[in-house]
Chains A and B, each alone.
Chain A
């Protein structure tokens, strides 16, 4: 009995210690940044994801801009889970934010989350991804990379590199996510509009994992009939273009043109080395930074435009020296 009572007490003490230890771990990387020491002017919620280096760069930009402007930025990581992001939006609202910058994990699913912010009179700024068109909810503006135009740039680079005809393989993101829809649409629009002789042989989900792309690409190249038809690879993301490039190199297929999108440091180096054909340049750090900046401008009473696009220029071997990747 005594040991039982001791166990109960010890359980509570240690659970409290564990909780406090976790809370004590809170630091800059912990998700909230503010002007050191001073009471922040505003509290801005940033509901996003952190499952890729792209987002880490995005995160740094948002936090740094928050510090620069003297506002507190609270960042949440939904890990691409729409339901989880809705819960996080409610948590951010409950913690008293003045404005919400939102990277919606899914365009349709997050409508409820935006409606909740509307109900609590919290202005919502969309960053990087869109909410479903025509949805019954209000957002102030969209800030972000022009994902569609960036993907069109990459698709054109690929189609030109293979001479406007031949089979290609598409490694796409999670089906149904905003970028996946736009990037897949961009490829189809470019093929239909200008390169009708280009044929998509296979569409494969990369699941956000390089090994998946390496295995799938090796399997495709291992099929003699299919391998002979492959002239190019269109990858949603530089990481996956690089993985496809490694698989092609292992099979001595230097003739296959490969394009990615993002403009990471690794991809730019690979373009210079001839492993990749090209990519489109994105600036996640700027997206995070501008999201916070526009939110502060809004709270200070400025009128915002409805769309702020960040262009994605092409990077090829000819101009790769001019670019430094952001992530």
Chain B
């Protein structure tokens, strides 16, 4: 493992480095927030903007970024997460339609009672997560056991899964959640857990934020306090050394892809709830946004280092920048430039730093 590793718990020197890095990204996030707070006080510093808008957007991306962190620490890469997400969202809606009928077909919808709705939702979420895990397992098998380059495998499956999504949705038709289930299912995105404050500071804690918080805690525990988590770092740091030490490196690597697949499926459920539909051509470019979060946070390409806290940092930084762009009316074309510049700068600096360290 390189000296960038902050897990397992390291000595004073490493903690000090970790603190510098984590604090610096946090400071930048706060500085940008401060600028926004000064120039856009009325609209930026509101409960609605910070919690219901900024945090919810970050949470949706963060759910996939949690899985991506595992893959990248293990030295991998996954370009197929957006395609996995749309495929799983269509699977979820097709399962719901199997219970409640297809709203696009006249007379096919059925009335449903509370218990049936709950079963349908549980089946849809379960089917989506299983589908996501299977798609991830396919990536993992090809990369770990067959030995194909992760970039090539996930670039191919990005196209294959997107195509699959078009096939199972009748050439890209918008698949709607049955009306009897819609009102319940949409709570995965719009549902308010609890409302705080009043007036400008009033905000509701929405379900995506809670789902992300729980998933983050589980993943954090897995990565930091379990043997599997340590193996993930070991595989990313030096696969041969890990293998010689008795780690089943192939299984560990494959498992990280299963995790990101399942996380993508969980995000898919929330995306479905957002618009009460699933469609094959949505979430284009999501994979790059997720990878940006992880890299900007400080998990390097090549693996062996990084942590979920760093991903959270990257996530918040990018969410603040996105929010800032909206607050200042920056158009989509310039946002693309901002995102691209951030990735380019961060990866270049990482590469130069590693080169410097070697010399």
Contact = CB atoms under 8 A, between A and B. Distances in A.
Interface of A: 1, 3-12, 14-19, 21-23, 25-26, 29-32, 50, 72, 74-77, 79-84, 86-88, 90-96, 106, 108-112, 116, 120, 174-176, 205
A77 B174 contact: no
B148 interface: no
A20 to B, nearest CB: 9
24 contacts: A3-B357, A7-B349, A7-B350, A7-B352, A8-B20, A8-B21, A14-B346, A21-B341, A23-B325, A23-B328, A23-B330, A26-B328, A32-B330, A50-B332, A75-B329, A79-B332, A81-B282, A82-B275, A91-B323, A93-B53, A94-B323, A95-B49, A95-B327, A174-B172
Nearest to B43: A96
Contacts of A5: 17, 20
B164 interface: no
A12 B28 contact: yes
Nearest to A177: B174
A83 B281 CA distance: 11
Contacts of A106: 174, 275, 277, 279
Contacts of B42: 96
B162 interface: no
A240 B157 CA distance: 31
Given A22-B334, A95-B327, A15 B342 contact: yes
A215 B338 CA distance: 36
Contacts of B274: 83, 86-87, 112
Q: Specify the main secondary structure of chain B where it touches its partner.
A: helix
Contact of A120 (B21, B48, B296, B328): B48
A261 to B, nearest CB: 22
A174 B282 CA distance: 12
Nearest to A87: B57
A92 B277 contact: no
B334 A26 contact: yes
Nearest to B56: A90
**Which A-B residue pairs are the 6 nearest by beta carbons?**
A32-B329, A22-B338, A7-B353, A31-B331, A96-B43, A109-B275
Nearest to B341: A18
Given A90-B53, A94-B49, A82 B282 contact: yes
Interface string B251-281: 0000000000000000000010011110101
A22 B337 contact: yes
Given A31-B331, A95-B43, A108 B326 contact: no
A257 B324 CA distance: 51
Given A4-B353, A7-B353, A176 B331 contact: no
A75 B331 contact: yes
Contacts of B284: 79, 81
Of residues A5, A11, A29, A86, which shows the largest number of chain B Cβ atoms within 10 Å of its Cβ? A11
B345 A14 contact: yes
A161 B349 CA distance: 64
Nearest to B322: A91
B171 interface: yes
Given A74-B329, A94-B49, A174-B172, A18 B21 contact: no
Given A8-B24, A12-B28, A205 B171 contact: yes
Contacts of B337: 21-22, 25
B242 interface: no
B321 A19 contact: yes
Contact of A109 (B277, B321, B334, B342): B277
Of residues A3, A16, A94, which shows the largest number of chain B Cβ atoms within 10 Å of its Cβ? A94
Contacts of A83: 271, 274-275, 282-283
A32 B328 contact: yes
B349 A10 contact: yes
B335 interface: yes
Of residues A15, A30, A96, A176, which shows the largest number of chain B Cβ atoms within 10 Å of its Cβ? A15
A12 B25 contact: yes
B139 to A, nearest CB: 24
